[in-house]
Structure 1
Amino acid sequence: MSVRAKFVCNEVRKRKFNKQDEGGATVILTPVTSGSEENKEFWQYTPSGHIEMQIKNEAAEKYFELGEEYYIDFTKAE
């Protein structure tokens, strides 16, 4: 079994994690609330939340765009 949620990217912030670090980004996502019937349905089951990731992979960092929506799939690790 897995659980799917739909989140929107609210912030992508470039940053250094320490003085010696090359840097990366902080990405913040929150549940979708409106904009489509699908979003309203997702909001009904996930009305609030917050995902914050510190990313040090340039390709992954570039993947997240402000205002874009993303499906989040949760699958239990064995």
Structure 2
Amino acid sequence: MSVRAKFRCTTIAHAFTNNPEYSAATITLVPVWEQEGVNRKWSKATPSGELKMMITNPEAVEQFDLGKEYFVDLTPAD
């Protein structure tokens, strides 16, 4: 079984170092409340939680925009 959840990007915190190869960003995502939609399948009431990732690949960081919504798919890693 898998769970699909919709999250919104609320924070993109860049951490810079003297070496650009080692720069990083912490991305924070929170669940989206919606009357209908994908989140109603896993959260019958107001969804709560937070997903926080430190990303050290600049190309991956560029995939996130503040305020934009993203799907998070959770499947067993057998």
Give the TM bin, normalised by the shorter chain: 0.7 to 0.9
Encode CA deviations 1:46-67: one digit per residue, 9 max, x unaligned.
6100000000011110001000
CA distance in 1, matches of 2:14, 2:51: 17
State the partner residue of 2:24. Answer: 24
Instruction: Look up the equivalent residue of 2:28 and give its one-letter code.
Output: I
Higher normalized helix content (fraction of residues): 1
Aligned-residue RMSD, C-alpha: 2.3
Runs of 4+ in 1 over 6 A off after TM superposition: 18-21
Deviation for aligned residue 1:5: 0.6
State the partner residue of 1:76. Answer: 76
Q: TM-score, normalised by structure 1?
A: 0.79
Q: TM-score, normalised by structure 2?
A: 0.79
Deviation for aligned residue 1:19: 6.7
Q: The residue matched to 1:59 in structure 2 has which SS?
A: helix
Report how many aligned residue pairs link the two structures.
74
State the partner residue of 1:57. Answer: 57
